[in-house]
Amino acid sequence: MLRVGLRHFRVLCFCAAFVIPASASAQRPSTMERLEQFSEAVAAENPSRAAALANRLWRADYSQLALDDAAELALRISIIDALNEIGAHEDALALINDLTSDRTLMRSLSVPDRVDLLGRHAEIARAAGRRDLARRLAQRARNGAETVNAGLGDPPPLTEGNGPSVGMAIDGDLEEALPPVESDVVISEFRMEDDRSANASTSDPFVVVPVYYGANREPSGSDDPNRYYGGRRGPLDVGVVNVSVPTQNREIGEIPRPSVWRGEFRPNPERHVILQDIQRFPGLPAMIRELNAQLEASDRGEVIVFIHGYNTEFRGAIERTAQLYVDLAVDGAAVAYSWPSRGGVLGYVADGGSLIRPVVNDLQTFLTAIAQASGAERVHVIAHSMGNRYLLEALEEIDDDGTFGEEPPFDELVFAAPDVDASDFAARAPGIRDLAGRMTLYASSNDRALAISRMIHGDYRRAGDANQPLVIDGVVQTVDTTASGGAGIGHDDFASSAMSDFRSVIWLSLEPEQRCVLAERDVEEGHYWAYGMGACDNQLFDAALRYIRLHGREGALSRIQTIIEAGVLPEVDWSGVRDIILAMPNAAAPG
């Protein structure tokens, strides 16, 4: 829990993070008042006042608040982080010097938590302009990396004259001054999360993604990209939003936003997904020209088009598209289509009522232009939840129009947790089969959102409900993600806990038989596939996909054989990764 607190939560809101018992009432008012004043000073970006209040808080007697050691440390780390973020670097450095000089505290931390805390100290030293100190810390960190892997003893207290002997993240010119050793390179290559974007190096803490969009929403009148469009229906509008997405401080599938509960007072691109700015285009041809230019600068010319589901604001549609672009390491461009969802849990009926012919016609035009005029080598369309209703309608219009003839305009059509009547989906899917190289349906029996939808629709099952998987042999490949163990309500496994299978579809167009994380299940109507029930380990499968994606099949096999012979990172089953690749005779990264 402490590791999560230190790395991901920042840690706890100053005013409401702790449950303080009644016995602490004598101390609570003055301490809590100072916490609130400190919070206000940070929000106002007043470094001098914030630093003065922080020094008072630092000397507070937290024992009277009945906080445990982890909660007290969390509070102190939050204070340091807040000071550092608003530019009070020297004050933050003084406080963290005091913290890490406490030998009793340092001994009480686990090795990973100690590494995190000391790494944070080095970052603050660098921000404070203590570059020599930061370099010494970084050098000692590199020298101590093997010690971390073998198990640490107690480190010396960290002061300006005594750096840490454990590893930490270093970036920028520090990384250039200290070239990575071979084992660092291998570790970075093995971990997909270190290089999820085709446009970011492993040292980039975030990447900026241009998300092109089409929206059947009325502009709200606000210039804020988060609130630029409301929930009312409007004519098709097009543009691009620049979105920063963390590449290191974020889990796969996660879309973190600032939270006061974690002591986060303003967006930080290294930790949060942020809509930075928005630009409208005068019309669809202008957007296609810009999209084409970005694709020409890429190697693979890939496009993903994401269509969101119910209860999604424009902001949420853009954020999810950017997240998919980064986690799928798309080499090309990201496109979102945002239909007029009210973006509220009580708007289900209104959201469904927005599916009218003018909106469908706009989506048909939008998808046709991307497939026909963007110059993309591969176009993948992904619809989520209620967005599948819009996609089905638009695809039927495209099929009736006959623009594309016998050549399918789309490579992959992915129906993720479709909130569509199962019988209706089964009746319509064969008619659009020729529009894509393949169609994949992701479903879960743990999808609580679809369980509610089923009740609303008179107990008729939904296409995305895997309690009774929808099987349409020869048309759609159905994947049950129930065993992925995803958090939340099981409605977006495709974008998070089942990401490795999703990558195998988008990256390599692997057939289910070649995806060893899947197990075949036979039913009366044919067969479907159960994710997480196959013969191979998910992490090894993901590593195999990554190596093929980066180096091609033969190059991946050669590279892994070199690693095996060198004995690098022996705790990883490299032979297992190699065997998974060998079982994919036709796997080749497109482009």
Pairing between β-strand 332-338 and β-strand 378-384 as defined by DSSP bridges: unpaired
Q: What is the pLDDT of residue 347?
A: 60
Q: How far is CA 444 from CA 292, 447, 449, 531, in A?
A: 36, 6, 11, 10
Rounded to whole angstroms, how far apart are CA atoms 248 and 140? 22
Share of the chain above pLDDT 70, in %: 77
Q: What is the pLDDT of residue 398?
A: 96
Check if the beta carbon of residue 84 is closer than 8 Å to that of residue 45. no
Task: Report if residue 195 sits inside a domain.
Answer: no
| pLDDT for 413 beyond 70 | yes
- Looking at residue 516, which CATH number applies to its domain? 3.40.50
Rounded to whole angstroms, how far apart are CA atoms 62 and 27? 9
Task: Say if residue 289 is in the same domain as residue 227.
Answer: yes
pLDDT tier at 477, thresholds 50, 70, 90: very high
Check if the beta carbon of residue 245 is closer than 8 Å to that of residue 206. yes
Rounded to whole angstroms, how far apart are CA atoms 419 and 430? 18
Rounded to whole angstroms, how far apart are CA atoms 154 and 111? 9
- Comparing 11-15, 69-73, 214-218, 445-449, the range with the smallest average pLDDT is 11-15
Task: Report if residue 266 sits inside a domain.
Answer: no
Rounded to whole angstroms, how far apart are CA atoms 270 and 57? 27
Q: What is the pLDDT of residue 571?
A: 79
Task: Say if residue 128 is in the same domain as residue 214.
Answer: no
Task: Say if residue 40 is in the same domain as residue 99.
Answer: yes
Task: Say if residue 348 is in the same domain as residue 399.
Answer: yes
Task: Say if residue 344 is in the same domain as residue 479.
Answer: yes
Which of the two residues, 577 and 204, has the higher pLDDT score? 577
Q: What is the pLDDT of residue 539?
A: 92
Task: Report if residue 261 sits inside a domain.
Answer: no
The residue-averaged pLDDT of 96-124 equals 75
Q: What is the pLDDT of residue 225?
A: 96
Task: Say if residue 109 is in the same domain as residue 70.
Answer: yes
238 by DSSP, 3-state: which? Answer: strand
Share of the chain above pLDDT 90, in %: 50
Task: Say if residue 141 is in the same domain as residue 286.
Answer: no
Q: What is the pLDDT of residues 177-235, one digit of tens each?
A: 223 333 333 334 444 333 333 344 445 899 999 999 999 999 999 999 999 999 899 99
The residue-averaged pLDDT of 361-376 equals 95
Question: How high does pLDDT run on average in the chain?
Answer: 81
The residue-averaged pLDDT of 286-290 equals 97
Pairing between β-strand 526-531 and β-strand 518-523 as defined by DSSP bridges: antiparallel
Cα-flanking dihedrals φ and ψ of residue 277, to 5°?
-160, 165
- Comparing 64-78, 219-233, 537-551, the range with the smallest average pLDDT is 64-78
**Structural domain for 509, as ranges:** 209-242+275-540
Task: Say if residue 439 is in the same domain as residue 364.
Answer: yes
Task: Report if residue 264 sits inside a domain.
Answer: no
Task: Say if residue 476 is in the same domain as residue 555.
Answer: no
Helix or strand run (H / E) with residue 439: strand 436-443
Q: What is the chain's length?
A: 591
Q: What is the pLDDT of residue 590?
A: 55
| pLDDT for 353 beyond 80 | no
Which of the two residues, 63 and 281, has the higher pLDDT score? 281
Q: How many domains does the chain contain in total?
A: 3
Task: Say if residue 456 is in the same domain as residue 554.
Answer: no
| pLDDT for 428 beyond 80 | yes
In Å, the largest CA–CA distance within the chain is: 78
The residue-averaged pLDDT of 554-576 equals 88
Q: What is the pLDDT of residue 72?
A: 77
Pairing between β-strand 332-338 and β-strand 410-416 as defined by DSSP bridges: unpaired
| pLDDT for 282 beyond 90 | yes
- Comparing 34-43, 140-149, 505-514, the range with the smallest average pLDDT is 140-149
Task: Report if residue 464 sits inside a domain.
Answer: yes
Which of the two residues, 352 and 166, has the higher pLDDT score? 352
| pLDDT for 169 beyond 70 | no
Task: Report if residue 202 sits inside a domain.
Answer: no
Task: Answer with the one of 189, 224, 257 that is the final residue of a domain.
Answer: 189
Q: Which residues contact 413 (CB under 8 A, 6 or more apart)?
A: 380, 381, 391, 395, 432, 435, 436, 438, 439, 440
Q: Which residues contact 493 (CB under 8 A, 6 or more apart)?
A: 417, 442, 444, 481, 484, 486, 531
Check if the beta carbon of residue 216 is closer than 8 Å to that of residue 341. no
Task: Say if residue 9 is in the same domain as residue 33.
Answer: yes
Task: Say if residue 175 is in the same domain as residue 288.
Answer: no
Q: What is the pLDDT of residue 138?
A: 61
Cα-flanking dihedrals φ and ψ of residue 324, to 5°?
-65, -40
Which of the two residues, 229 and 133, has the higher pLDDT score? 229
Strand order of the sheet with strand 302-307?
A: 274-280, 229-246, 206-219, 332-338, 302-307, 378-384, 410-416, 436-443, 477-480, 526-531, 518-523
Task: Report if residue 203 sits inside a domain.
Answer: no
Which of the two residues, 219 and 406, has the higher pLDDT score? 219
The residue-averaged pLDDT of 411-429 equals 97
pTM: 0.68
Task: Report if residue 310 sits inside a domain.
Answer: yes
Smallest CA-to-CA distance from 332 within 370, 376, 287, 286 is with: 376
Rounded to whole angstroms, how far apart are CA atoms 29 and 10? 24
